[in-house]
Amino acid sequence: MTARKTKYLSLAERRAYHSLEDIVGCKWSAGVVASIARGVRRPGELERYIPGISKKILNERLRKLTDYRVIERQEIPDRVKHVEYRLTPTGEKLAHLIEQLQELGQQHLDSLPG
Amino acid sequence: MTARKTKYLSLAERRAYHSLEDIVGCKWSAGVVASIARGVRRPGELERYIPGISKKILNERLRKLTDYRVIERQEIPDRVKHVEYRLTPTGEKLAHLIEQLQELGQQHLDSLPG
DNA sequence: CGGGGTGGTTACCGTTTTGTGCCCACTTAC
DNA sequence: GTAAGTGGGCACAAAACGGTAACCACCCCG
């Protein structure tokens, strides 16, 4: 980050980040993105894959992520309801950043004295 | 993210991210880190630089970030109280990721139809 | 038919998190 | 003395968030 040190953090900057902060920021979101990135695409599958997440929260996140165009929802024709979510290009980049965040967190933890 | 698709998201993975999620995750945190990365080092300065943040939240974040060793607090000898915060190595890496997150968010917003 | 799977919603309630305002001690300038 | 700036704390109200559980419609199998 280049030290610009303008008077304020611009509104645009705050909002730009905010759109992704809303995603990375709330509980489970990063896990959902990371899971989809790993190929877990169906809601029920995600629910089982991410231990502890509730149906409600999972759906809330999926909807939000879809609204942000970070993932895409597609219904697959079948006799049984079949839905799959996949990452959009932005979603993939986001997943990559989340992964780096996870790695950084891990390294950091390992380096702590306590 | 390589598609491993193990049965579950491991606890370690969830926790590793959690340590940084606690930082990136809560409101204002990213802004504080980004601001410090830009050279805004003093509490009062940060308060003015980040429009809308409250004294309380700012202090809470500074304390949390300090606890996590993402930033360091130093009192500078002066007749007047003079405190400065700066990023630790991890903090700089984190700031870099946050910056990328902001950029990605910005690009993404620009690319949206609506 | 009942039981189980799919995907999804809603109401309710408790906990967390934010935000507001007031307070502290200290120093400097007026 | 008074005002304003430094860094910081606390109590409280307001808002956001999460978790539980019930419920919907649909389809399939036995």
> Looking at beta carbons, which residues of chain A come within 8 Å of B16?
102-103, 105-106, 109
Domain count, chain A: 1
Range picked from A8-22, A32-46, B5-19 for highest mean pLDDT: A32-46
Of A17 and A70, the structure prediction assigns the larger pLDDT to A70
Which pLDDT belongs to residue A3? 52
* Beta-carbon pairs below 8 A across chains A and B: 146
pLDDT at A10 over 80: no
Average pLDDT over residues B1-30: 68
Considering only residues 28-87 of chain B, list those whose CB is below 7 Å from strand D: 42-45, 55-56, 59, 62-63, 73, 80-83
Q: Which of these, B71, B95, B17, B98, lies nearest to A106 by C-alpha position?
A: B17
Residue ranges making up the domain that contains B94: 15-107
Task: Give CA–CA dist A30/A21, Å, rounded.
Answer: 10
Are A99 and B1 spatial neighbours (Cβ–Cβ below 8 Å)?
yes
How close A81 comes to chain B (CA, Å)?
Answer: 23
- CA of B55, C1' of D8: distance in angstroms: 9
Of A2 and A33, the structure prediction assigns the larger pLDDT to A33
Residue A67 lies in a domain: yes
Task: Kindly report the CATH number assigned to the domain that includes residue A92.
Answer: 1.10.10.10
Average pLDDT over residues B52-74: 95
pLDDT at B40 over 70: yes
Which pLDDT belongs to residue A110? 85
B56 pLDDT band, cuts 50/70/90, is very high
| Terminal Cα distance for chain B, rounded | 29
Residue B7 lies in a domain: no
Average pLDDT over residues A75-99: 95
A13 pLDDT band, cuts 50/70/90, is low
Residue A9 lies in a domain: no
Backbone φ and ψ of A104, nearest 5°: -60, -45
B8 pLDDT band, cuts 50/70/90, is low
B87 pLDDT band, cuts 50/70/90, is very high
Which pLDDT belongs to residue A40? 97
Return residues with beta carbons within 7 A of strand C. Answer: A 42-45, 55-56, 59, 62-63, 73, 80-83; B 26-28, 52-57, 60, 79-81
Q: Which of A17, A50, A103 sits opposite B101 (nearest CB)?
A: A17
Residue B8 lies in a domain: no
CB crowding A4-40: b at 16 or more within 10 Å, else e: eeeeebeeebbebbbbbbebbbbebbbbbbbbbbbeb
Residue B2 lies in a domain: no
Of B104 and B16, the structure prediction assigns the larger pLDDT to B104
Average pLDDT over residues B48-67: 95
B38 pLDDT band, cuts 50/70/90, is very high
Q: In sequence order, which ranges of chain B are alpha helices (DSSP H)?
A: 11-24, 29-37, 43-49, 55-67, 89-111
Residue B41 lies in a domain: yes
Across chain B, mean pLDDT equals 87
Which pLDDT belongs to residue A91? 96
Give B113's contacts (C-beta < 8 A, 6+ positions apart): none
**Residues composing chain B:** 114
Q: Which residue has the tokens 């990452």?
A: A87
